[in-house]
Amino acid sequence: MTPRRFRSFAKINLGLEVTGRLPNGYHELKTLFATVSLHDTIDIAATRGGISVRSDHPGVPCNETNLAYRAAAAMQRLSGRKRGVAIVIHKRIAVGGGLGGGSSNAATVLRALDLMWGLGLGPGRLMEPAKALGADVPYFLFGGPALGLGRGDDIRPLELRLDQKVLLVPGQGGVSTASVFRRFAEDGGPSGAPSRIDSFLRRSLSPGTLRNDLERAAIEESPALAEVARRIRRAGRSAGAIQAAMSGSGSSFFLLFEDAHSRAAASQELRAGGIASLRCSFVSGRSYGHRFELRKAMSRAGRRASNR
Ligand code: C5P
Query: Which is more confidently placed, 38 or 293?
Result: 38
pLDDT of residue 206: 83
Q: In this model, does residue 283 exceed pLDDT 90?
A: yes
Percent pLDDT > 90 in the chain is 86
Is 136 among the residues known to form the active site? Answer: yes
* Best residue for ligand 1 mutational test, from 29, 181, 184 (most atoms within 8 Å of Cβ): 181
Percent pLDDT > 70 in the chain is 95
Q: Determine the residue type at 74.
A: A
Is 198 among the residues known to form the active site? Answer: no
Entry pTM: 0.93
Catalytic residue, candidates 114, 136, 153, 213:
136
Q: Find the mean pLDDT for residues 105-109.
A: 98
* Best residue for ligand 1 mutational test, from 137, 177, 184, 186 (most atoms within 8 Å of Cβ): 177
pLDDT of residue 55: 97
Centroid of ligand 1 to alpha carbon of 183 (angstroms): 12
pLDDT of residue 68: 98
pLDDT of residue 296: 52
> Could you tell me whether strands 165-169 and 253-257 are parallel, antiparallel, or unpaired per DSSP bridges?
antiparallel
> Could you tell me whether strands 165-169 and 282-283 are parallel, antiparallel, or unpaired per DSSP bridges?
unpaired
Pick the atom of ligand 1 nearest to 18's CA: 21
- Tell me, using a 6 A CB cutoff, whether residue 183 lines ligand 1: no
Give the pLDDT band (50/70/90) at residue 297: very low
Q: Find the mean pLDDT for residues 23-46.
A: 97
Q: Find the mean pLDDT for residues 181-200.
A: 95
Q: In this model, does residue 119 exceed pLDDT 70?
A: yes
User: What average pLDDT is seen over the chain?
Assistant: 93
User: Please, what is the Cα angle at 95 between 77 and 55, to 5 degrees?
Assistant: 60
Nearest C-alpha neighbor of 127 from the set 135, 115, 119 = 135
Pick the atom of ligand 1 nearest to 27's CA: 16
Give the pLDDT band (50/70/90) at residue 172: confident
pLDDT of residue 295: 52
Q: In this model, does residue 102 exceed pLDDT 70?
A: yes
Say how far apart CA 31 and CA 211 lie, in whole Å: 10
pLDDT of residue 205: 76
Catalytic residue, candidates 11, 30, 91, 165:
11
pLDDT of residue 208: 85
pLDDT of residue 294: 57
Q: What is the 3-state secondary structure (H, E, C) of the chain?
A: CCCEEEEEEEEEEEEEEEEEECCCCCEEEEEEEEEEEEEEEEEEEEECCCEEEEECCCCCCCCCCCHHHHHHHHHHHHHCCCCEEEEEEECCCCCCCCCCHHHHHHHHHHHHHHHHCCCCCHHHHHHHHHHHHCCCCCHHHHCCCEEEECCCCEEEECCCCCCCEEEEECCCCCCCHHHHHHHHHHCCCCCCCCCHHHHHHHHCCCHHHCCECCHHHHHHHCHHHHHHHHHHHHHHHHHCCCEEEECCCCCCEEEEECCHHHHHHHHHHHHHCCCCCEEECEECHHHHHHCCCHHHHHHHHHHHHHHC
Q: Find the mean pLDDT for residues 138-160.
A: 97
pLDDT of residue 96: 83
Give the pLDDT band (50/70/90) at residue 1: confident
Q: In this model, does residue 308 exceed pLDDT 50?
A: no
Q: Find the mean pLDDT for residues 223-236.
A: 94
- The Cα-based distances of 35 to 42, 104, 169 in angstroms read 17, 10, 15
* Residue 36 contacts residue 280 (beta carbons within 8 Å): yes
Q: Find the mean pLDDT for residues 270-280.
A: 97
- pLDDT, one tens digit per residue, over 46-82 is 999 899 999 999 989 999 999 999 999 999 999 998 8
Q: Kindly report the protein residue whose alpha carbon is nearest to atom 14 of ligand 1.
A: 26
Centroid of ligand 1 to alpha carbon of 249 (angstroms): 10
Q: Find the mean pLDDT for residues 176-197.
A: 95
Centroid of ligand 1 to alpha carbon of 166 (angstroms): 26
CB within 8 Å of 157: residues ≥ 6 apart:
142, 144, 145, 146, 285
- Tell me, using a 6 A CB cutoff, whether residue 26 lines ligand 1: yes
CB within 8 Å of 58: residues ≥ 6 apart:
none
Say how far apart CA 121 and CA 231 lie, in whole Å: 46
- Tell me, using a 6 A CB cutoff, whether residue 117 lines ligand 1: no
